């Protein structure tokens, strides 16, 4: 972290979590910014120095965020320091109940009625207008609220985790998990059952993992939610990956590359052969980078194919193949079959094993450009 701070040109500080509101960080400023704002933007107000607010952040180089913080706090200037993700998460969880904007369940359910959300179980099924369902079970509206909030906060994943005494809902934002809300424990089984119904899963089967998909429209945005359930000690845990169809239309210039790195990347993806790998933590944008990259290529002059598990976004003019492990159609086997289809560019969703890695390298050495992640 010290190295990151030096590169960003800001000081690095640790937050005294034991002191908490008594000196570790500023509770009044935290309330003014709002707990949801701090969680979404990964910032923590620490103290006031004269007329200047000192704010800890994980991304200290976000100039626009600094301007917004200054406006919200109504202070002349803001000094940004780098803090660790663990300190930020610990501080926000410590005061989560006091700063949460969604502590009152009745207020939450009342607000959800105003949102325009549609969810359908399959592409052929008629979308269900959830706004018209305001008079139905609070569980339906609470699930809608969770999804809407995740989309609004820019989350890549939603984690719903039953515990002994409470149900945790966490969002992964920019690769970091934040605890965002705690639904009433009595709603745990009902919330998970509702999600399983929406994903067309077997709600009576709680002993084995299940995978499904929810297609929905939230405030005019078409989304796919990839749903995974896993039996755990206090009930089924549910994780949903949010796939926004708009993200595949993001240009490489908008992904955060510095100009020099962007030019290197563009040069590499236009090579006639070789292998280019994208690495990073969950939710960091690896798949988005690959999709944006193959959109830069000339589909009319090149045979571009992908092997994915699952196919996250459908692209025009590109052959996309999904793996099926249960019938033996894994990445390695699909890639070998694809090599007989005269491809120019191959995108592999992930290199998971030695056999796939060996086949990918052989493809790169025999005149194909291979793009993948690790």
Higher pLDDT pick, 277 / 39: 277
Distance CA 86, CA 66 (A): 21
| Per-residue model confidence (pLDDT) at position 84 | 85
Angle at 42 between CA 39 and CA 43, to 5 degrees: 105
Share of the chain above pLDDT 90, in %: 16
| Per-residue model confidence (pLDDT) at position 180 | 82
Helices H / strands E in the chain, number of each: 13, 16
Residue 123's pLDDT band, with cuts at 50, 70 and 90, is very low
pLDDT at residue 131 is higher than 50: no
Share of the chain above pLDDT 70, in %: 83
Name the least confident of 128-132, 249-253, 282-286: 128-132
pLDDT at residue 230 is higher than 60: yes
Residue 231's pLDDT band, with cuts at 50, 70 and 90, is very high
Tokens representing residue 336 in the block: 């070998």
| Per-residue model confidence (pLDDT) at position 22 | 60
* Predicted confidence (pLDDT) per residue in 289-309, tens digit: 888 888 888 888 889 999 988
* Predicted confidence (pLDDT) per residue in 25-81, tens digit: 887 888 788 777 888 788 888 888 888 889 998 877 766 678 888 888 888 888 888
- Of 53-57, 58-62, 102-106, 129-133, give the range with the top mean pLDDT: 53-57
Residue pair 188/166 in contact by the 8 Å Cβ criterion? no
Q: How would you classify residue 203: left for phi > 0, otherwise alpha for psi between -120 and 50, otherwise beta?
A: alpha
* Predicted confidence (pLDDT) per residue in 146-156, tens digit: 888 888 888 88
In 150-201, which ranges are E strands?
Answer: 157-162, 167-173, 176-181
pLDDT at residue 116 is higher than 60: no
Q: What is the mean pLDDT of the chain?
A: 80
Tokens representing residue 327 in the block: 């019938």
Q: How would you classify residue 200: left for phi > 0, otherwise alpha for psi between -120 and 50, otherwise beta?
A: left
| Averaged pLDDT for residues 318-323 | 89
| Averaged pLDDT for residues 168-195 | 83
| Per-residue model confidence (pLDDT) at position 127 | 38
pLDDT at residue 128 is higher than 70: no
pLDDT at residue 117 is higher than 60: no
| Per-residue model confidence (pLDDT) at position 114 | 38
pLDDT at residue 122 is higher than 60: no
| Per-residue model confidence (pLDDT) at position 154 | 80
């Amino acid at each position: 972290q010290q190295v990151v701070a030096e590169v960003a040109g800001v000081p690095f500080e640790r937050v005294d979590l034991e002191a908490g509101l008594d000196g570790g960080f500023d509770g009044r400023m935290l309330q003014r910014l709002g707990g949801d704002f701090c969680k979404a933007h990964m910032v923590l107000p620490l103290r006031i120095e004269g007329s200047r607010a000192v704010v800890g952040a994980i991304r200290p180089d976000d100039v626009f965020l600094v301007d917004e913080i200054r406006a919200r706090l109504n202070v002349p200037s803001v000094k940004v320091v780098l803090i660790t993700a663990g300190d930020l998460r610990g501080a926000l969880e410590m005061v989560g109940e006091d700063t949460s904007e969604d502590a009152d369940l009745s207020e939450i359910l009342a607000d959800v009625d105003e949102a325009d959300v549609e969810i359908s179980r399959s592409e052929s099924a008629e979308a269900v207008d959830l706004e018209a369902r305001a008079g139905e079970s609070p569980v339906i509206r609470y699930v809608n609220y969770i999804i809407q909030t995740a989309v609004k906060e820019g989350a890549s994943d939603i984690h719903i985790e039953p515990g002994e005494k409470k149900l945790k809902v966490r969002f992964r934002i920019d690769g970091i998990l934040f605890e965002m809300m705690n639904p009433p424990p009595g709603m745990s089984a009902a919330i998970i059952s509702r999600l399983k119904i929406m994903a067309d899963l077997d709600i009576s089967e709680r002993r084995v993992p299940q995978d499904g998909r929810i297609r929905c429209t939230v405030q005019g945005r078409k989304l796919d939610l990839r749903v995974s359930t896993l039996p755990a000690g206090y009930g089924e845990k549910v994780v949903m990956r949010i796939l926004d169809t708009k993200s595949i239309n993001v240009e490489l210039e908008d992904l955060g590359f510095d100009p020099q790195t962007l030019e290197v990347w563009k040069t590499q993806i236009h090579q006639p052969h070789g292998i280019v790998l994208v690495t990073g933590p969950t939710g960091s944008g690896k798949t988005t980078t690959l999709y944006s990259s193959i959109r830069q290529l000339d589909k009319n002059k090149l045979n571009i194919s992908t092997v994915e598990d699952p196919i996250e976004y459908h692209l025009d003019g590109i052959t996309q193949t999904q793996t099926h492990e249960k019938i033996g159609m894994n990445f390695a086997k699909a890639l070998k079959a694809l090599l007989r289809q005269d491809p120019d560019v191959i995108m592999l969703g992930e290199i998971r094993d030695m056999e796939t890695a060996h086949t990918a390298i052989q493809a790169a050495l025999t005149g194909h450009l291979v793009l993948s992640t690790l």
